[in-house]
Amino acid sequence: MPTIVVPLKLAENHDEHNPEHAAAWIAGLPALAAGFLDRWNLRPDGEPAHGYVALVLPVLREDGTPAALKLQPVDEERAGEPVALRAWGGRGAVRLLEDDPATGTLLLERLDAARSLDDVPDAEAALLALTGLLAQLHTASVPGGLRHLGDVVREMLDAVPEALESLVDAEERRLLAGWAEVVREVAGEPGDRLLHWDLHYENVLAPLPDALPGRGPWVAIDPVPLVGDPAFDLMPAFDNRWDDLVATGDVERAVRRRFDLMTDVLSLERGRAARWTVARALQNSLWTVEDGGSRLEEEQVAVVRALAPYV
């Protein structure tokens, strides 16, 4: 069994994400991987890859089927991933083959990591593909045991006063306070659909060429499941592939075009959808402040400004 070498960047990410436990988790990762290779009768089949906190090993199952072993810490954010993947059952999302709740380890269908929606040259085609996946994911039956948007929103609004003190620009403090007021308008109706919460273009991969018949051309990965309003899933389609918007010469118009297309396909009421998108801008900005930032990100401000006519 080859020794698993932990990528340096992954170790650095853990130092930043969870410094208290990073060293111990990274040190134990090779043994954890070896244990699951043995437990699930897997053979390594390529170089390891990683996201921000997960190590992903391409493997072959006992019958030769390609798969991906995903090793990640257990925390509130990732505990719901196997729950949601089972609910989706491969419809629009990567298939879950095995999981171990005690360690957060997942065995997943192998996808083509070299082909993501981020690489599709036609920005509108990429947006339509992403939106079609959201339409599939939002129709699944909602399992128990997942976080709810109502709880997340209450935590967000509680964090606003402290965040306002951290912003150095008076106009940005006014903007953030205004976004919080918009969120309060919809906070009482947080919705009840199964959300992905992080469906940006790099989190959509193509199946392998020999995938099962009937598999769609694109598959969602890395959900951070949440139960709530489907409009809360829109923002990653706006603030990712930002250069495409800038290249149009009119960012606000381009944002509104994406928003109009997505709300049409998903049959969302635009006023409500705009407010929940403001909620994502608020959440993203609170995270920026939590990470030590003192200014709002220009993408968040631009998206909210573009959607102001709908709010």
Last residue of one domain, picked from the residues 53, 88, 109:
109
Regarding whether 101 and 202 lie in a shared domain, the answer is: no
User: How many Å apart are CA 277 and CA 234, to the nearest integer?
Assistant: 7
| pLDDT of res. 2 | 65
| pLDDT of res. 52 | 85
**pLDDT tens-place values along the chain, 311 residues long:** 567 888 888 888 888 877 888 888 888 999 999 999 999 999 999 988 988 889 999 999 999 999 999 999 888 778 899 999 999 999 999 999 999 999 999 999 999 999 999 999 999 999 999 999 999 999 999 999 999 999 999 999 999 999 999 999 999 999 999 999 999 999 999 999 999 999 999 999 999 988 777 788 999 999 999 999 999 999 999 999 999 999 999 999 999 999 999 999 999 999 999 999 999 999 999 999 999 999 999 999 999 999 999 99
Last residue of one domain, picked from the residues 77, 109, 141:
109
Query: What residues are labeled active site?
Result: 198
How many Cβ atoms from other residues are within 10 Å of residue 222's Cβ? Answer: 23
User: How many Å apart are CA 204 and CA 120, to the nearest integer?
Assistant: 11
CATH number at residue 242: 3.90.1200.10
Regarding whether 75 and 188 lie in a shared domain, the answer is: no
| Global pTM value | 0.94
Regarding whether 304 and 168 lie in a shared domain, the answer is: yes
Give the chain's domain count. 2
Domain with 70 in it? 8-109
| pLDDT of res. 210 | 81
The neighbouring-strand residues paired with 66 are 60
| pLDDT of res. 18 | 79
User: How many Å apart are CA 177 and CA 164, to the nearest integer?
Assistant: 7
User: How many Å apart are CA 147 and CA 190, to the nearest integer?
Assistant: 12
Last residue of one domain, picked from the residues 86, 109, 132:
109
